[in-house]
Amino acid sequence: MQWQQRLMALLLISGMYAEAGVTPASAAVSMRLTVVSEQGETLVDAAAPDGSRWCIQWQHSVEHFTVLDCYRNAGGIMQLERSHQPDFAAGLGHIYGRGEQVSDGEGGYWINAIDEPVANNRYVLRVGSMAVNHSVIWPAKEHTTVSLSERAAGQRVTIELTAP
């Protein structure tokens, strides 16, 4: 079933890009990761070519440990690729049939191979306070980090993978 969903998404995206005169391959290469506040302020605008990866990182508000939701640009589609949790705290955990849970070797776990497309290549996040410190990180770029909480605590932001 998953290959059918991917095919449908690819066909839909191909049609959208064709209308704009852009091929899916060129669009996937030149995609951008953006985070925009409710007021329209751009908090993040970074190149996100096909295959690039980034994570949203935050401190769990009750247990105060770091949680990661990691995404990738998979051919122009934002996908939730994997998630890391050091505990089965409130609101966290593995859902059977959604990825594969594996130990991180330190008492926590990764849920790998989630590979779920994010609807419309975007989602809205209510940014937590500095105690939560919602951040965008790029693990492949020596853990480059942009704190969303520093600039938009308590606000809704839109995280989006955009075509040129």
**108 in any annotated domain:** yes
The structural domain count of the chain equals: 1
Q: How far apart are CA 164 and CA 146, in angstroms?
A: 22
**Which residue range is the domain that position 96 belongs to?**
29-162
**9 in any annotated domain:** no
Using the 8-state DSSP alphabet, how is residue 32 labeled?
E
**139 in any annotated domain:** yes
Q: How far apart are CA 122 and CA 160, in angstroms?
A: 4
Which residues partner with 123 through β-bridges?
A: 159
Q: In the chain, which stretches have pLDDT less than 50?
A: 1-23, 90-92, 94
Show the tokens assigned to 147. 């704190």
**68 in any annotated domain:** yes
**2 in any annotated domain:** no
- The mean pLDDT value of the chain amounts to 80
Burial class (CB in 10 A: 0-12, 13-18, 19+), 18: exposed
**1 in any annotated domain:** no
**37 in any annotated domain:** yes
Q: How far apart are CA 95 and CA 83, in angstroms?
A: 12
pTM for this entry: 0.76
pLDDT tens digits, 140-153: 777 799 999 999 99
